[in-house]
Amino acid sequence: MTTQHSDSLRVPLPTAVSGLNGGNKLFPVFLKLENLRLVIIGGGKIGLEKMRAVLQNSPGTSIKVVGKEICSEVTHLCSQCHLEIVTAPYEPWHLDDANIVIVAVNDKQLSAAIRADAKALGLLVNVADTPGLCDFYLGSIVQKGNVKIAVSTNGKSPTIAKRIKENLQVWLPDDIDTLLENMNVIRGNLDGDFSAKVKVLNRITNDMIVAGNYKTSNRWKLVDIIACVLLGIVGVLLVWNIILFYFHAPF
């Protein structure tokens, strides 16, 4: 039997979304990895890099590392963080208790086989240095206190993501947690429905920026001052050169 759906139930995508043919279409999410089970296949330098990235952001993550050979750095890190190591060639059953899989082996054929096994179990997979086989990427992460920003280049250039991360790390003020705590207290004391609270909070944060009470605004003011000074110096040099030209020009 064919089920007919009313046209009124079909919600069209906004033009800006439906017309998106290029760019980064990844959907950003923040996972509570401490509630999930991660399996990393590969105990070498690549696996170590992935482990460090995960543990730096979610130190409570349960990780099992599987590898025919496990490097000493991985062994040491697993010992420090009480993680599981399986020193053996990969077998499909190694994925039985996994929620997420990271493949970090230097063997494209084996990587593809592991991915196929993971997909058969309905698992999300990241295959190191092979964007076409990834369900998700590990982006560059900026964190100060409770603020965390993930930077993605759609798998095209981790190096660019790293440079963006470095700039954001400088741009974010060190005392941003104080602002967050204050805003959290204000939010807790507001009356009204969700929409009304959002309007008040938007007005407060906007007033902070306009008034220059937020450290970031002061930083931009400093940039403006420096730019004006530099322009002034350029102007003085230009006038000086005009004067020199006037007095030395033959008439």
Predicted local confidence at residue 249, as pLDDT: 54
What are the backbone dihedrals phi and psi of residue 138, each rounded to the nearest 5 degrees, phi first? -95, 100
Report yes or no: 30 and 58 within 8 Å, Cβ to Cβ.
no
CA–CA separation, 118 and 95 (whole Å): 7
Predicted local confidence at residue 9, as pLDDT: 47
> Concatenated DSSP letters for 81-116?
HT-EEEES---GGGGTT-SEEEE--S-HHHHHHHHH
Predicted local confidence at residue 59, as pLDDT: 95
Tokens of 104: 């970090």
Residue numbers of the chain with a pLDDT score lower than 50: 1-9, 18-19, 215-220, 223
Predicted local confidence at residue 92, as pLDDT: 98
CA–CA separation, 120 and 78 (whole Å): 28
Predicted local confidence at residue 192, as pLDDT: 80
Tokens of 39: 């399996």
Predicted local confidence at residue 204, as pLDDT: 79
Predicted local confidence at residue 1, as pLDDT: 46
Predicted local confidence at residue 239, as pLDDT: 60
